[in-house]
């Protein structure tokens, strides 16, 4: 491997190519530095492999690879919560295109060997084109594989990060000082109130995670609740939690794709954090399937991350490779349209964007407080991935780049009755 020429300053080149300039202090292993000298946060590029990551994937993917591998070190923030870094770098992660003369200088200065990409960190999932070769996108088998990639990490790790609720979806904070546990309980209860759950009714919770909604509906509302998840570890944990809570006569969780649920005539269906995984082109089948599971006047509550507009947009490379392979987002307008086209009557929509920013803030705090245990459970690289992704997503929600919508719909009866009062009751 060749080293950059002595008169070639790595930090100067990185700063020159950074869109909008270097917003924090950047230091490289060749002794060069760029950015404000009095910055509270410093980025240190510690070796040539990190340089290779940056120049061969010039954007969020290269930064993530170098950071996860330990080649790009943050000084001034805990790796479990690099929020300050992400807030400063959010609009500066992609390099501008170098001019032809700049490109020649960079190639000569770096040496050709530094332009060969090193193997990515082991936490990185296959690129999307490789996944297309190996299986049809959003088939039952491939969905099971990508869900396992993210959710079958470690139940103990998730317990450290998520807290006792084991709820890995946006909480609803009843007031600014509410704890994460209070906010997660309020989220489940808000869903229950919107669905107007009553004792003896039947609830289907698709993508049920560790069974939080299923157990809340059974314990607080006397509902017979069935949850399904593609994660085997989630299902096993949920079954144990249901038995420990003495809710086995009302609550059940199965390791099952929602498309394989055979029962119907449910009074309500909740979908909390599933829609992001199913693929936009599958929305008609998804909403149609859920409608067919409902009895007349049965309600559907769809809770999912959304974009701030309804225009098509690709998922960022870091999120796609490290966090949610095959995940897709769209705006609430598309969600509502597809629900309506599937024969559901949409009754209410609510944006909980800032609640998700607060949820991510608290998850990052939990990761920091339990850092040693988390690293012991999943390894340093994976722990870094989680700190980075949650901090970056928090910034996205704060800046209205992504949102979180709950859409409430009903299977209206043939005579037009919907079972709703004249004004919302929740």
Q: What percent of the chain has pLDDT over 70?
A: 92
What is the CA 185 to chain-centroid distance, rounded?
Answer: 20
Q: Token digits for 243?
A: 């038995």
Residues 347-383 have pLDDT tens digits of: 999 999 999 999 999 999 999 999 999 999 999 999 9
Q: Token digits for 273?
A: 């954090």
* 228/59 Cα distance (integer angstroms): 37
* 241/155 Cα distance (integer angstroms): 12
What is the residue extent of each domain of the chain?
10-115, 145-410
* 117/140 Cα distance (integer angstroms): 33
Determine how β-strand 25-28 pairs with β-strand 42-45: parallel
Q: Note whether 75 and 44 are within 8 A (CB).
A: yes
| The 224-229 sheet, strands edge to edge | 251-255, 224-229, 202-206, 266-272, 294-307, 402-410, 345-351
User: Per 3-state DSSP, what percentage of the chain is helix, strand, and coil (rounded to 5)?
Assistant: 45, 15, 40
CATH of domain 145-410: 3.40.50.150
- At the top level of CATH, which class does the domain 10-115 belong to? alpha beta
State yes or no: pLDDT of 236 exceeds 80: yes
State yes or no: pLDDT of 274 exceeds 70: yes
What's the whole-number average pLDDT of the chain?
91
**Confidence at residue 104, expressed as pLDDT on a 0 to 100 scale:** 81
| Residue whose C-alpha is closest to residue 250's, from 211, 210, 202, 218 | 218
The mean per-residue pLDDT over the stretch 54-81 comes to 94
Q: Note whether 287 and 339 are within 8 A (CB).
A: yes
Q: What is the CA radius of gyration of the chain?
A: 23
Of 127-141, 231-245, 359-373, 397-411, which range is least confident?
127-141
**Confidence at residue 102, expressed as pLDDT on a 0 to 100 scale:** 79
Residues 188-219 have pLDDT tens digits of: 999 999 999 999 999 999 999 999 999 999 99
State yes or no: pLDDT of 147 exceeds 90: no
């Amino acid at each position: 491997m060749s080293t950059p020429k002595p008169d070639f300053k790595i930090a100067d080149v990185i700063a020159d190519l950074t869109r909008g300039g270097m917003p924090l202090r950047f230091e490289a292993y060749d002794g060069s530095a760029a950015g404000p000298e009095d910055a509270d946060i410093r980025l240190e590029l510690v070796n040539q492999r990190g340089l290779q990551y940056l120049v061969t994937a010039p954007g969020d993917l290269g930064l993530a690879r170098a950071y996860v591998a330990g080649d790009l070190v943050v000084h001034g923030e805990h790796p479990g919560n690099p929020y300050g870094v992400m807030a400063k770098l959010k609009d500066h992660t992609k390099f501008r295109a170098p001019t032809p003369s700049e490109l020649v200088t960079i190639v000569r200065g770096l040496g050709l060997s530094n332009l060969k990409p090193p193997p990515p960190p082991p936490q990185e999932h296959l690129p999307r084109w490789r996944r297309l070769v190996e299986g049809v996108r959003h088939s039952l088998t491939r969905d099971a594989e990508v869900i396992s990639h993210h959710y079958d990490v470690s139940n103990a790790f998730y317990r450290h990060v998520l807290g006792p609720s084991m709820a890995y979806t946006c909480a609803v904070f009843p007031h600014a000082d509410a704890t994460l546990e209070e906010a997660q309980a309020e989220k489940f209860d808000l869903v229950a109130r919107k669905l107007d759950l009553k004792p003896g009714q039947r609830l289907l919770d698709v993508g049920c995670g560790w069974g939080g909604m299923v157990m809340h509906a059974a314990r607080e509302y006397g509902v017979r609740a069935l949850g399904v998840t593609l994660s085997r570890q989630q299902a096993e944990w949920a079954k144990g939690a249901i038995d420990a809570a003495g809710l086995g006569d009302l609550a059940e969780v199965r390791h099952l794709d929602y498309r394989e649920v055979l029962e119907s005539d449910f009074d309500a269906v909740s979908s909390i954090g599933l829609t992001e995984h199913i693929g936009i082109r599958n929305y008609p089948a998804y909403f149609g399937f859920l409608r067919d599971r409902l009895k007349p006047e049965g309600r559907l509550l769809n809770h999912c991350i959304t974009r701030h507009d309804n225009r098509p947009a690709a998922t960022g490379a870091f999120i796609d490779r490290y966090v949610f392979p095959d995940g897709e987002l769209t705006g609430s307008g598309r969600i509502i349209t597809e629900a309506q086209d599937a024969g559901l009557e949409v009754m209410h929509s609510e944006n909980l964007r800032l609640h998700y920013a607060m949820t991510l803030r608290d998850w990052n705090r939990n990761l920091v407080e339990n850092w040693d245990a988390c690293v012991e459970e999943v390894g340093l690289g994976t722990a870094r991935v989680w700190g980075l992704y949650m901090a970056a997503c928090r910034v996205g929600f704060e800046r209205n780049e992504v949102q979180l919508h709950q859409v409430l719909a009903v299977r209206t009866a043939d005579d037009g009755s919907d079972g709703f009062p004249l004004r919302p009751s929740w």
